[in-house]
Copies of this chain bind each other. A is one copy, B any other.
């Protein structure tokens, strides 16, 4: 089963710095529904993606196009914040593995797989419940509704506020990396710093964000 790409409008990339209350979830969902999303890419999730490796490989071509890592973020990776259609926040560590020359979502991914029942054994049920997400031969699609990919000011989207959607889920590239990397005395992972959209309206406070939508 597949997504249909929706065209992007100027809907604000609603900030989700903290798990928003239910009311916000609804608002977010409606906004997303009203917005057409720009298709990013599909990926057929492999058994490894939902297996014990606890990581999702992002095909290099797509990763470099939509989630580039510059020199400052290559080492530590990024902490990307997502939310599913119900507004539930998901945070995945995104980084590059030199050993395998591949881009991956690591920390947090396994929890997502588990909750969404992305398991090879549960393919049928899962596919049934979550037609937009995946298993084996079921395509995972990324649709873009924002262009936060380039951390460099020069590469930023010109004006209209946009939003990144992965599997139809809002992606936020939180400028503040917090909680998960809260070891005492440790420096938090530096999240991808995004430029504030020029015409964005409802982004919470001053934090620059991108968001990725998981259509679940």
Contact = CB atoms under 8 A, between A and B. Distances in A.
Interface of A: 71, 74-75, 98-99, 183-186
Contacts of A184: 74, 98
9 contacts: A71-B185, A74-B184, A74-B185, A75-B185, A75-B186, A98-B183, A98-B184, A98-B186, A99-B183
State the main secondary structure of chain A at its contact with B: loop
Nearest to A185: B75
A118 to B, nearest CB: 24
A148 B71 CA distance: 39
A127 B204 CA distance: 63
Given A71-B185, A75-B185, 7 more contacts: A74-B184, A74-B185, A75-B186, A98-B183, A98-B184, A98-B186, A99-B183
A75 B71 CA distance: 25
A40 to B, nearest CB: 26
The 9 A-B pairs at the shortest CB distance, nearest first, are namely A98-B183, A75-B185, A98-B186, A74-B185, A98-B184, A74-B184, A99-B183, A71-B185, A75-B186
Contacts of A75: 185-186
Contacts of A99: 183
Nearest to A75: B185
Nearest to A183: B98
Contacts of A186: 75, 98
Contacts of A71: 185
Nearest to A98: B183
A213 B124 CA distance: 56
Contacts of A98: 183-184, 186
Nearest to A99: B183
